[in-house]
Amino acid sequence: MTIFAVYKKLEIMRKRILVTGGAGFIGSHLCERLLNEGHEVFCLDNFFTGNKDNIIPLLKNPYFELVRHDITMPYFVEIDEIYNLACPASPIHYQYDPIQTIKASILGSINVLGIAKRTGATVLQASTSEVYGDPQVHPQVEGYWGNVNPIGLRSCYDEGKRCAETLFMDYHRQNGIRIKIIRIFNTYGPRMLPDDGRVVSNFVVQALRNEDITIYGSGAQTRSFQYVDDLIEGMVRMMNTEDEFIGPVNLGNPNEFSILELAEKVIQLTGSKSKLVFKPLPHDDPKQRQPDITLAKEKLNWQPTIELEDGLQKIVEYFKEYRYRN
């Protein structure tokens, strides 16, 4: 094949892709992956929890476009695919301005679904394991409707994401919009903010600084931690499934750990002198969480490949380097 023919082929295969929340932790990894695949990427973000540092290396790519915009306001663009990630995800951040959080999920969904309706784009919603609330079914299967407090401190996030799923389904049924819904379980990795507030980044940063490790409650509650590269692979596979498969599909690592076990692993890995301190358990903190990924295995031929120890090592290296950069 001549160089010209290769170039032509790339041109035909190149999609125009909008990533809302693209300057955030997951969004920036996704933008990078999509650019590496040769696509044109529009990264939309209002920088509430996003960080320009996450995307500075991408700015030199002529197929990358940064858009400062709040997705609660309408936005117009000609596009083939949309990944809708714009929403603060850490409890301290989404509870900081709960009204803006629920608007990000609901108005944000209406706006991206509107773009999809006008352009015919496929739109993928980054939903969450939080739709299962404090689950009474374990591990969580997609068919489980959840156990969510509609009036608690976490509701702005949980109910916003649940309503977003409803909007996606109704736009699909009523207007034939091509949708995909993924339910992401706790994900960690480089580019989380040091003050993000979520457990993995908190523990790693505290351990590296030899500060107390803050265990909320007894630490017996469990989570299943997924490394970001595994998630990105699952997201891209989901977007590329046949139109008939819309999900929702769980994307998470089924290996379940208590928060105490996580703290011990982080201390061991960093050789930290940190001590454990016990703080009150936040409101409606789920007691357990573990994805059933049978559906993802079957439909996406996907399963996580990165063990917690290996992923922790990568985020430890990232935060060690981050200290020198800031």
Known catalytic residues are 157
**223 counts as binding ligand UDP under rule CB under 6 A:** yes
Binding partner of 282, given ligand NAD, ligand UDP, none, CB within 5-8 angstroms per partner class: ligand UDP
Q: Which residues between 35 and 74 bind ligand UDP (CB under 6 A)?
A: none
Select from 97, 264, 284, 285 the one that contacts ligand UDP (CB under 6 A).
285
Select from 21, 50, 91, 133 the one that contacts ligand UDP (CB under 6 A).
91
**214 counts as binding ligand UDP under rule CB under 6 A:** yes
Binding partner of 221, given ligand UDP, ligand NAD, none, CB within 5-8 angstroms per partner class: ligand UDP
**112 counts as binding ligand UDP under rule CB under 6 A:** no
Residue closer to ligand NAD (CB basis): 182 or 207: 182
Q: Which residue has the tokens 């339910």?
A: 183
Binding partner of 79, given ligand UDP, ligand NAD, none, CB within 5-8 angstroms per partner class: none
Spatial distance between the Cα atoms of 54 and 68, rounded to a whole number of angstroms: 14
Q: Which residues between 110 and 129 bind ligand NAD (CB under 6 A)?
A: 126, 128
Give me the phi and psi of 303, to 5 degrees please: -155, 155
**Chain centre to alpha carbon of residue 143:** 21
**202 counts as binding ligand UDP under rule CB under 6 A:** yes
Select from 50, 139, 197, 311 the one that contacts ligand NAD (CB under 6 A).
50
At 239, the amino acid letter reads M
Phi-psi region for residue 7, left (φ > 0), alpha (ψ -120 to 50) or beta? alpha
Distances (CA, A) of 80 to 44, 68, 83, 308: 15, 20, 11, 35
Q: Which residue has the tokens 């007691």?
A: 287
Pull the structure tokens for residue 233: 């692979």
User: What mask of x and - would describe binding to ligand UDP in positions 231 to 270, judged by CB under 6 A?
Assistant: ----------------------------x-----------
**21 counts as binding ligand NAD under rule CB under 6 A:** yes
Residue closer to ligand UDP (CB basis): 82 or 199: 199
User: What mask of x and - would describe binding to ligand NAD in positions 257 to 296, judged by CB under 6 A?
Assistant: ----------------------------------------
Select from 82, 148, 184, 204 the one that contacts ligand NAD (CB under 6 A).
184
Residue closer to ligand UDP (CB basis): 77 or 276: 276
**120 counts as binding ligand UDP under rule CB under 6 A:** no
- Kindly state the number of chain residues that form the binding site for ligand NAD, as judged by CB under 6 A: 28
- Which stretches of the chain bind ligand NAD, using CB under 6 A? 20-21, 23-27, 45-50, 70-72, 85-89, 104, 108, 126, 128, 184, 186-187
